[in-house]
Chains A and B, each alone.
Chain A
């Protein structure tokens, strides 16, 4: 490691004191500065404080207690500036969400369902796919829903004609279903998952 210049040395010492101030909400005593920076005597602490006072980084009150001046700003600085290309890791990645968060809105109301039929194939839902079903959502026209029509379970688009709801497949093989007696919706399909390997 290259030797640090006196300036760098001083900066690192100030940073140590800053860290203490943030952590404890108060300035360190002379003895604590000694512990912090590895000084052997309190005299070294005293000299450092004198230096910092001259630089207007800290001041001393009447009783000699330290008061921060241009130090210990409570604002958290966004990373540190370094030469070269900055690491994008921390700040850029704080606002990302997981795949779970993306696919699931209301965790407690979410269920999985394995698809066996091909009635929604033109909507991109194939036999063997997993669909994510939200039971708590209010179904609206245009949603893909899991529904019970006249005793039979099915997955279709929910459509509205006038006041009446009916079900439409995404496959020309199947005709629209107009419920004769009853239409019960068990949930709304919010996503489809297909895992290849």
Chain B
């Protein structure tokens, strides 16, 4: 019964999932060609591995590992500071390349995309496989990074395909072959199925993705909630999750967290770090015309344990000036004198559209008006002269210590070697290759 196809049509629709191989490390290898084929990791400024190249992974390096451990198991590893500006440029370019092939591109994360290929065979005179291969080739030729891709009937299946042959692989799963790929796949490897569901399914004798896909619909309907019923449909080749093409214009929450090294016990400095995160989160919220109804604050200690508080706001806001008092009170609740802290973070949650805010009877409308004027001009100045040209006094002590001190060269090359006309805040929106010629 297991060799019975789940569906007989090959491609009623074709969804592709693309995942860049070891994204941050690949970008570094692309702009430093001499690093190709060598173990490279990023995250030097944070003291832990943010991303590892396949060469480094082969030597046992994993994400989140501390750097001294990395030096022990892989002494010739090249450890670079993160250069998020360059990675973002690569990300945008990858999505642009994909849009040359299909307008239906979903930017799922910085290094992942879904593309709806349905109906493109005619205009490209070829199979879905050849179109997907062409996309992969173009990305590799123009950006110098490799991607892994899967093409199948649904997002869940496409994701199984892209994971099937990593790195630099392409797996096409037509309808009549779905069962072949699901047969040996543990059900917990399916996108969206977590530990709890896995344990529950095991109790019902379901271990592989195929066993799950073959369950009868009324069983699925009786025992599982909607998200899992949708996954069940997707596994059977019936696409439920559409490829969402709009670029993100709404968020449920915005979080900003930043690590600093060395860790600090200095109350003013740690609070300034927190305040800077609040400013950044608010800038982003205002850009999307959103305001928060809840504010979450957390501090992470040197031993990686964190503590936090959640504060409910009386009135939605995206103005740091209105939030500083609460931020201070929350901070005092969690900050322990003498403790070493390495990271602070702020989450703006329960976001609502800015224009829908109802002023209460007791609000001082003149003050609200003034506040919005202040931030309007502040955002205008930032746009012209760069972020944080003007900042709040509370954030100033953050400059007492460099964000990351200690090792030299913790600043990415792009920021360390500015071109004429560039400054610390604004640079050309084009990645630089670092080759000595």
Are A113 and B142 interface neighbours, CB within 8 A? no
B1 within 8 A of A: no
B402-437 interface code vs A (CB 8 A; 1 in, 0 out): 000000000000000101110000001011110111
B34 surroundings in chain A (CB, below 8 A):
153
B97 within 8 A of A: yes
**The residue from B138, B143, B144, B432 contacting A113, defined by CB atoms under 8 A apart:** B432
B287 within 8 A of A: no
B138 surroundings in chain A (CB, below 8 A):
136
A155 surroundings in chain B (CB, below 8 A):
437
Are B430 and A112 interface neighbours, CB within 8 A? yes
Are B143 and A112 interface neighbours, CB within 8 A? no
B217 surroundings in chain A (CB, below 8 A):
none
For window 137-192 of B, CB contacts with A under 8 Å fall at 138, 141-144
**The residue from B33, B142, B421, B431 contacting A148, defined by CB atoms under 8 A apart:** B33
Are B436 and A116 interface neighbours, CB within 8 A? yes
Are A186 and B430 interface neighbours, CB within 8 A? no
B312 within 8 A of A: no
B96 within 8 A of A: yes
For window 71-120 of A, CB contacts with B under 8 Å fall at 106-117, 119
Q: How far is the CA of A114 from the CA of B418 in the complex (A)?
A: 11
Are B431 and A111 interface neighbours, CB within 8 A? yes
Q: How far is the CA of A155 from the CA of B33 in the complex (A)?
A: 14
Cβ distance A197 to chain B, nearest Cβ, rounded Å: 8
Are A195 and B435 interface neighbours, CB within 8 A? no
Q: How large is the interface on B (under 10, 10 to 19, 20 to 34, 35 or more residues)?
A: 20 to 34
B76-115 interface code vs A (CB 8 A; 1 in, 0 out): 0000000000000000010011000000000000000000
Cβ distance B88 to chain A, nearest Cβ, rounded Å: 14
**The residue from B31, B33, B144 contacting A153, defined by CB atoms under 8 A apart:** B33
**The residue from A112, A146, A195 contacting B437, defined by CB atoms under 8 A apart:** A146
A67 within 8 A of B: no
A170 within 8 A of B: no
Q: How far is the CA of A153 from the CA of B420 in the complex (A)?
A: 25
Are A153 and B436 interface neighbours, CB within 8 A? yes
Are B33 and A195 interface neighbours, CB within 8 A? no
Interface size on A, residues (CB 8 A): 26
B428 surroundings in chain A (CB, below 8 A):
112
Given the contacts A114-B417, A153-B34, A195-B420, A109 and B142 also touching, CB distance less than 8 Å:
yes
For window 136-164 of A, CB contacts with B under 8 Å fall at 136, 146, 148, 153-155
Are B143 and A108 interface neighbours, CB within 8 A? yes
Are A153 and B435 interface neighbours, CB within 8 A? yes
Q: How far is the CA of A113 from the CA of B435 in the complex (A)?
A: 7
Are B142 and A146 interface neighbours, CB within 8 A? no
**The residue from B141, B431, B432 contacting A114, defined by CB atoms under 8 A apart:** B432
Given the contacts A112-B428, A146-B433, A135 and B144 also touching, CB distance less than 8 Å:
yes
Cβ distance B428 to chain A, nearest Cβ, rounded Å: 7
Are A136 and B142 interface neighbours, CB within 8 A? yes
Residue on B with the closest CB to A136?
Answer: B142
Are A112 and B93 interface neighbours, CB within 8 A? no
Are A108 and B97 interface neighbours, CB within 8 A? yes
A133 within 8 A of B: yes
Are B141 and A111 interface neighbours, CB within 8 A? no
Are A107 and B436 interface neighbours, CB within 8 A? no
A130 within 8 A of B: yes
For window 142-197 of A, CB contacts with B under 8 Å fall at 146, 148, 153-155, 186-187, 195, 197
Are A135 and B141 interface neighbours, CB within 8 A? yes
Q: How far is the CA of A104 from the CA of B337 in the complex (A)?
A: 55
Given the contacts A116-B437, A117-B436, A153-B34, A108 and B93 also touching, CB distance less than 8 Å:
yes
Given the contacts A136-B138, A146-B435, A195-B420, A108 and B96 also touching, CB distance less than 8 Å:
yes
A interface with B by C-beta (< 8 Å): 106-117, 119, 130, 133, 135-136, 146, 148, 153-155, 186-187, 195, 197
New A-B pairs, 8, CB < 8 Å, besides A112-B430, A133-B433, A136-B141: A111-B432, A112-B428, A112-B432, A115-B437, A146-B437, A153-B34, A153-B437, A187-B433
A-B contact pairs, 17 of them (CB 8 A): A107-B96, A109-B141, A109-B143, A112-B428, A112-B431, A112-B432, A113-B437, A114-B417, A119-B437, A135-B141, A148-B33, A153-B33, A153-B34, A153-B435, A153-B436, A186-B435, A195-B419
Q: Which 4 A-B pairs have the closest CB atoms?
A: A109-B142, A155-B437, A136-B142, A108-B93
